[in-house]
Every structure is written in C-alpha cells, then in structure tokens.
C-alpha cells in the first residue's frame, strides 16, 4: 500500500523551506559578527538593503563596517527567470528549458587586522529541470605558513570536516580537494588561501539528506570562524603587515573577477551588481 500522506521531498517542493533557511542563517551569522564587534568595544551593526531583480525575485544585501571587520557582507537572494542561450548550455537541465530558480546565502569578511584571516562562505539551491545544492567555505590568512595560520586553518577545517563526516566520510577529502583546485589563481600559480571545502551539483538522489548536509555546512561556518575571530582580533600588528594584507587582498579581487562562479552566475542572470561585488575588499593595493 502506498503512503500518500508524506510525498517524497523534491527540489521543487523544498524551495520555500530552503529560502527560509538561508534567511535564518543570515540572521544568526550577522548577529555573531555584531557580537564580536561589541566584544571589541564597538557598536557596528549591519545595514540591510533590499533589491529586486527585473526578471523575477530579489534579495537583501547586509553590510557591516566596524572596528574588527573593516567590511563584512552577508547576502541572501531568491531569484528566478530564464538563462541566456549561451549560459544555459553550461547549466545542467537548462539546455532544453532555460528557466531557473535559485536561492542562497553568500558572505565575505575582510577584517581590519592582518592577524585575522579573511573568510568566505556560501550555500545555495538551484533548480532547473534538475536540482542541486552547492557551496562551501574557505579561509584566507595573510601568511599561510605561520604557526598562527596553521592553528586557524586547523580550527576552520575541523568544523567543516565534522560537518562532512556527519553525512559521508568521503565528503571531506573530496570537497577539500575540490576547494584547493577551485580557489587557485592559475595566472599566479598560487592558492587563494588555506582552503576549506567546495562542492557543486550535489544531487545524491536524497533531497532531504543533501539539504541537511547543506544546512550543516552553514552551521560549520559559525563553529569554524568565530573562534578564530575572537582569538585574533586584538593581536597587535605592524604597518608592514597591514601593507602586506592590502596587497594580499588583491588576490581576492583577481579571483572573484576572473574565476568565481557566483560572480559569473549573478552577472549573467541579471543580479544586483552591488550585491554581487559586495565581496570586494574596502581597501586594496597592488605592488
């Protein structure tokens, strides 16, 4: 006898719950950034700006400029429409029908102190004629080889390993390697930072399990980054370290403008330009 009381979850039916989850995660992450600012004696809070996409949907851009975080941005969006023919050819399930729906959260934080690593995280659900999850997080310390950077990297990676191992012991090695490959600048032959995890096109056949994993990736950011922020924000630094930090930030700009999938997706689907480029650092130098 077939049980019709609980129909199987699909990417289509998950849309409202996924969009609500990304918004709730945004609220918790913003609250934690603001808490660190208060602990440092500041009072910076996020300014939220809503935007609408002409082709359907929109989002909210949240930006904080504080004493610890020179700039932190946490964006959410829910958009729908049709891909261009050129872009649709590259997207699973969109080659025959270009319609899409996408929701997600994306954040980047550029700390004021070079002792505190920059960080990026995003998770998303995309639905075409197929559906899948993607996301991850990565850490960018100023000097990856130092003892402090190794300690911070260990904290960050431990949180993501725990999230992965909860679902599949093969996830962490697979998604860590994908992150190392993805966040790499070929024109400089160097990694962007200390890595983390990255995954895309995740569709195991169990939508509920994939969504649970994606939620845990979001939780891992809270567990993996804010202990580092509290450990490092008050450490003294030199003008030379600050100068090196500004030059290092240039790598962020180069990657996001040349290679980043999220940047390309947003620009090619009519997203809000300011929200898409929110990841850019507030001050940067090239030697």
Residues tagged active-site: 120
Q: Are residues 132 and 202 in contact, defined by beta-carbon separation less than 8 angstroms?
A: yes
Instruction: Spell out the residues 6+ positions from residue 24 whose beta carbon is closer than 8 angstroms to its own.
Output: none
Task: Give dist(CA 77, CA 104) in Å, integer.
Answer: 6
Half-sphere exposure at residue 182, Cβ-oriented, CA atoms within 13 angstroms: 20
Task: Give dist(CA 217, CA 161) in Å, integer.
Answer: 10
Tokens of 4: 């019709």
Q: Are residues 124 and 135 in contact, defined by beta-carbon separation less than 8 angstroms?
A: yes
Residue 206: count other Cβ atoms within 10 Å of its Cβ: 12
Sequence-ordered alpha helix ranges (H) in the chain? 11-39, 85-88, 147-165, 171-182, 207-232, 239-258, 261-268, 273-276
Q: Is the dihedral of CA 98, 84, 95, 126 positive or negative?
A: negative
């Amino acid at each position: 006898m077939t049980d019709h009381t609980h129909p199987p979850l699909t990417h289509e039916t998950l849309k409202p719950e996924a969009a609500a989850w990304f918004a709730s995660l945004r609220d918790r992450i913003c609250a934690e950034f603001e808490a660190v600012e208060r602990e440092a004696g500041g009072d910076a809070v996020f300014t939220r700006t809503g935007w609408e996409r002409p082709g359907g949907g929109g989002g909210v851009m949240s930006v904080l400029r504080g004493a610890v975080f020179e700039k932190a941005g946490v964006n959410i969006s829910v958009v729908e429409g049709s891909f261009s023919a050129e872009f649709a050819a590259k997207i699973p399930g969109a080659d025959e029908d270009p319609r899409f729906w996408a929701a997600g959260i994306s954040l980047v934080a550029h700390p004021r102190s070079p002792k505190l690593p920059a960080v990026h995280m995003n998770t998303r659900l995309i639905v075409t004629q197929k559906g899948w999850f993607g996301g991850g997080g990565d850490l960018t310390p100023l000097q990856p080889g130092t003892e402090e950077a190794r300690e911070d990297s260990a904290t960050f990676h431990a949180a993501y390993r725990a999230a992965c191992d909860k679902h599949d012991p093969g996830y962490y090695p697979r998604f860590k390697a994908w992150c190392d490959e993805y966040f790499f600048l070929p024109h400089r032959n160097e990694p962007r930072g200390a890595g983390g995890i990255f995954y895309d096109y995740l569709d195991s056949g169990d939508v509920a399990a994939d969504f649970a994993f994606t939620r845990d990736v979001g939780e891992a950011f809270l567990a993996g980054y804010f202990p580092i922020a509290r450990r490092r924000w008050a450490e003294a630094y030199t003008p030379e370290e600050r100068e090196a930090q500004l030059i290092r930030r240039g790598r962020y700009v180069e990657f996001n403008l040349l290679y980043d999938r999220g940047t390309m997706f947003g620009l090619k689907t009519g997203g809000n330009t300011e929200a898409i480029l929110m990841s850019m650092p507030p001050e940067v130098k090239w030697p």
